[in-house]
Structure 1
Amino acid sequence: MSKIVVPIKIKSDRKTTDDLGATLRACNAAANYISTVAWESREFAKFGIHRLTYAKVKEEFGLGAQAAVRTIAKVADAYNSGDRKFRRTRKRRFSWSSAQPFDARNMSWNLEDKTLSIWTINGRAKSVPFLCADWQLELLRHNPIAESDLVFRKGSFYVYATIDVADEAMNESPKGFLGVDMGIVNVATLSDGTNFSGKHLNHVRNRNMGLRRKLQKKGTRSAKRLLVKRSGREARFAKDTNHCISKKIVTKAKRTGHGIALEDLEGIRNRARLRKPQRVALNSWGFYQLGSFVQYKAIRVGVPVVYVDPAYTSQQCSGCGHIDKKNRPNQATFLCTSCGLSLPADWNAAINIAKRGSDSWVVSHATERDTGEAA
């Protein structure tokens, strides 16, 4: 099963909007109280926090039973999730608009009428209309809704519904692997030669960067308002582009019976030695996001994904395996000093990634077979 988050925009009257705002404020005020108790008592287990705070949260903050339970769980999750090195190292604080979780006990859906019923601090709001695309509505209709978060974003309320979607059976015998090389000039290049150019993306990124600099330098109130209005626009553009590219990659792999081999980009920002303009591009594009989009889309349709070490993929000849810095006479070209193979550099790297993906798959599945036979 895969979990997918479907954002739904609430279309409500003034009273419902005020009630939802008051609900977020009350729940997050309670969350800050719960966090203080947990921090001072060093009690971070959900049931332990519940024992210390449940009664007072209901009494002082006016939360219903289920809202109190979900708020306690939210605080416990904040202390117990994420990187183990950073858990419980600082007190968690919640802004008034931090997302508040709901479940079937305090939120219900009428998908035919496109309305929902939701608990608020001032009573239950019923038949609240919402807006969504047809494909989002179909997802909600045909898949169980696990949990939902009430979110306030840029003047509007949203419900982020988490649904469980059944995955297709994994292809355990792929015909090969489609290698994906990610870069700055070309966002992604595949081992079959398909190229997703970054020319337009870099143009948009540079234009946005220049506009931000002008507005920041101007410093007027109107300039600051425009900066706020434009905030997130580039992130949304990058996200949409990464969704489109990842969908095409996964569709091609599914159609041809291949798996997908991706570079393990952990720590790429620390390893890379680039000039300042390239560093800016590296840090402003979501390479990790693109990889994660490919992975979750692939899992949903049964396409295997492996991550490989990207070391020397740009310097290694995909024909003879010779590794040499001199194999890259310039950024765009690969020319092997040993066998003379000449290819676009990104394509050569993608072929190497595909080969490493196939080798990794063979080794891992050979280990699984050996373990099974031994058992």
Structure 2
Amino acid sequence: MKLVVRVKLLPTPEQAAALRATLHACNEAANWLSFQAFQHGRTSRAALQALAYMELKARGLSAQPSLHVLRKVADAYAALKANLRVGNLGKPGSKRYAKATGEAVVFRPDAAQPFDDRCLSWQPEARTVSIWTTSGRMKGIAFTGQAGQLALLASRRRGESDLLCQAGQWYLLATCEVPEAETSQPIGFVGVDLGIVNIATTSTGARHSGRRLNRRREADRRLRTKLQRKNSKSARRRAKRHAGKEARRARDINHKISKRIVAEAQRTGRGIALEELTGIRERVRLRKPQRATLHTWSFDQLGTFIAYKAKRAGVRVVYVDPAYTSQECSQCHHIDRRNRPSQAVFACRSCGFVEHADLNSSHNIAARGWWMWVRGGESQAPALTLTT
């Protein structure tokens, strides 16, 4: 499986200036090429290379960086077409769809730029890298990271690395090939119910509450709305400082929750059963105050974190149909909408069984996971490329 190790660069002011100029030059060339691709309707790698390879070299890029710019633009248009095809950018005829298809893809000046081993070399023992820049080869750029990440980088790094600048800090994202742990036969499954009030509830009784987090996120939304309405120079500067803060917090929480769930399953010799949540935003109907909470929390990210951590730990993962898991009794399997008299309470109208609603749902998910496993319907998690 693939993991992406993120290490922090520690460039001198002169090195940082060269890296910034290189990143800006590559993304400026990518924007020019994107406009050409949009104008001519040619977005494949081969078509773009025939169209503009020599022009990119004339703009000051070497051969390999020019090819990486070509591939980056082609991949961006391929991703755009895929999102349009599955409806992630609205339906044909909608304003969102028209905006996505009515202009060329634009790259930020500090957007990540890939480098292969011809343009970037690592010196793990010295903890330095040598990288191509528009000012020439820049050697001796120091980097740092956690001990485990650096050991993984030294032994398992494969393929390209991406140069990235975030909030004035420089990073390299290096792809590592990690062997998957040998998976054992599970003796059962831990069902995981994902929700808003409780982010994750397991069939073993563990609940990861989201109440405190939701209050914090609501405060962030109010602050963002206030700054957008004010729209002064200082307000925009403050909004920029807070940009990404909520996403980083959510990512950290998802990492912690997924780590605990996988550790519990591994310790007890069980697999993990997750709901198949594809299309949840289109299926679920909520009151207006709840919509922002649902649509801004990264449930897919949490599920992906659980899947890749389970792969590393040798824990089986299956995906089950989520239909009626919240309305089905985990004891007699009677399904009735009236079984949920409130958000937190499940009371079966048939057998009288009473339990916390999320815990009851997680029991149903665990049972469906075991049934799928017995029938040989294991759902394999997709290939993963994740930042550790």
Q: 1:164 corresponds to which residue?
A: 177
Residues 298 and 222 of structure 1: is their aligned pair in 2 closer, same or farther, counting only changes over 3 Å? same
Secondary structure (helix, strand or coil) at the match of 1:320 reads: coil
Amino acid of the residue matched to residue 152 of structure 2?
Answer: L
For residue 160 of structure 2, the aligned residue among 147, 157, 161 is: 147
Structure 1 counterpart SS, 2:376: helix
Return the offset for 1:218. 4.4
Q: Distance in 2 between matches of 1:122 and 1:219?
A: 38
Q: Which residue number in structure 1 is paired with residue 132 of structure 2?
A: 119
Q: What SS does the aligned partner of 1:80 have?
A: helix
TM-score of the pair, normalised by structure 2: 0.87
Q: Report 1:32-71 matches (<5 A).
A: 32-58=31-57, 60-71=58-69
Name the CA distance, whole Å, in 1 between partners of 2:230 and 2:44: 50
In 2, the alpha carbon distance for the partners of 1:163 and 1:327 equals 48
- Structure 1 residue 94: Cα displacement: 2.3
Give the partner amino acid of 1:237: R
Say if 1:311 and 1:365 are closer, same or farther in 2 by CA, change over 3 A. Answer: closer
Please show how residues 1-375 of structure 1 align to structure 2 within 5 Å. Answer: 2-58=1-57, 60-81=58-79, 84=82, 86=84, 91-171=104-184, 173-365=185-377
1:40 Cα offset (Å): 4.2
SS of the residue 1:34 aligns to? helix
Instruction: List gaps (5 residues or longer) in structure 1.
Output: 367-375
C-alpha distance 35-213 of structure 1, shift in aligned 2 (>3 A): closer
For 1:225 and 1:96, locate their aligned partners in 2 and report how far apart those are by CA, in whole Å.
Answer: 18
1:206-261: CA deviation from partner (whole Å, max 9, x where unpaired): 33233334444444433332221112111111110000000111111112221111
Q: Deviations over 1:324-343 (max 9, x none)?
A: 11111211111111111111
| 2: CA distance, partners of 1:249 / 1:85 | 31
Post-superposition Cα deviations, 1:33-75, rounded to whole Å, max 9, x if no partner, equal 33344444444332343233222221x2111121112222212
Cα distance in 2, alignment partners of residues 272 and 117 from structure 1: 50
Query: Which letter does structure 2 place at the counterpart of 1:62?
Result: G
Contact 2:188 2:270 in 1 (8 A): yes
Alignment partners' CA distance in 2, 1:203 and 1:36: 43
User: What is the match of residue 370 of structure 1?
Assistant: none
Determine the C-alpha separation between the residues in 1 that align with 2:300 and 2:188: 23
Does structure 2 conserve the Cα–Cα contact (< 8 Å) formed by 1:147 and 1:163? no
- How far apart in 2 are the matches of 1:40 and 1:217? 36
**Contact preservation (8 Å) 2:157, 2:174:** no
TM-superposed deviation, 1:359: 1.6
Give the superposed CA RMSD: 2.2
Query: Alignment partner of 2:375: what SS?
Result: helix
The structure, 1 or 2, with the larger RCO (C-alpha pairs under 8 Å, 6+ apart) is 2
Instruction: Read off the aligned partner of 2:69 and give its amino acid letter.
Output: T
- The secondary structure found in structure 2 opposite 1:5 is strand
TM-score (norm 1): 0.90
The Cα of 1:137 is off from its aligned counterpart by 1.2
Q: What amino acid is aligned across from residue 165 of structure 2 in structure 1?
A: F
Whether the 8 Å CA contact 2:192–2:362 is kept in 1: the answer is yes
Q: SS at 2:3's partner residue? A: strand
1:174-193 Cα shifts (integer Å, max 9, x gaps): 21111100111111110111
CA–CA separation in structure 2 for the residues paired with 1:78 and 1:184 = 32
Q: Is the 8 A contact 2:261 2:306 kept in 1?
A: yes
* Aligned-partner SS, 1:303: coil
SS for the counterpart of 1:152 is strand
Partner Cα separation in structure 1 for residue 291 and residue 79 of structure 2: 31
**Aligned residue in 1 for 2:386:** none
Letter in 2 for 1:50: Q
Change (3 A) 1:47 1:221: closer
Deviation at 1:28, TM superposition (A): 1.9
* Misfit runs of 4+, over 6 Å: none
Distance 2:317 2:160 in 1: 28
Q: Structure 1: which amino acid aligns with 2:251?
A: K
Provide the identity percentage: 48
Question: Which residues of structure 2 form unaligned runs of 5+?
Answer: 86-99, 379-388
